[in-house]
Amino acid sequence: MSIPYTATSQAIKGYADSPLAKSERNDCVVRAIASAFDIDYNKAHQWVADNLKRQFRKGTFGFPTKMNLMSTNNTRFNYNTIICIINFKTI
């Protein structure tokens, strides 16, 4: 069984037309949020910058911890509640 590959430009709304997306790097969290919540890339980019304190072209540090906290606080985004299905533990 294999998972079919879908190009980012087809999988994420607004990605192909976004000048911001073309100039970004280290934006895997932005892409994940856009994909998971089915929103436009630019909107996801702004949300990650505002809520996860991501700096332009720098990546998102502490993502698992911040998402776990949002899950605990029942944070809602795009009419969906953020849930954590993985228990992150420090070894």
User: Would the pLDDT of 90 be above 60?
Assistant: no
Q: What is each CA distance from 28 to 25, 72, 90, in whole angstroms?
A: 8, 23, 22
Would you state the pLDDT for residue 64?
79
Q: In terms of pLDDT, which residue wins out, 27 or 6?
A: 27
User: Would the pLDDT of 16 be above 90?
Assistant: yes
Cα separation, 89 vs 91, whole angstroms: 6
Instruction: State the chain's mean pLDDT as an integer.
Output: 82
What are residue 50's phi and psi, to 5 degrees?
-75, -45
Would you state the pLDDT for residue 62?
84
Would you state the pLDDT for residue 15?
94
pTM of the model: 0.76
User: Would the pLDDT of 57 be above 60?
Assistant: yes
Q: For residue 82, name the pLDDT band (cuts at 50, 70, 90).
A: low
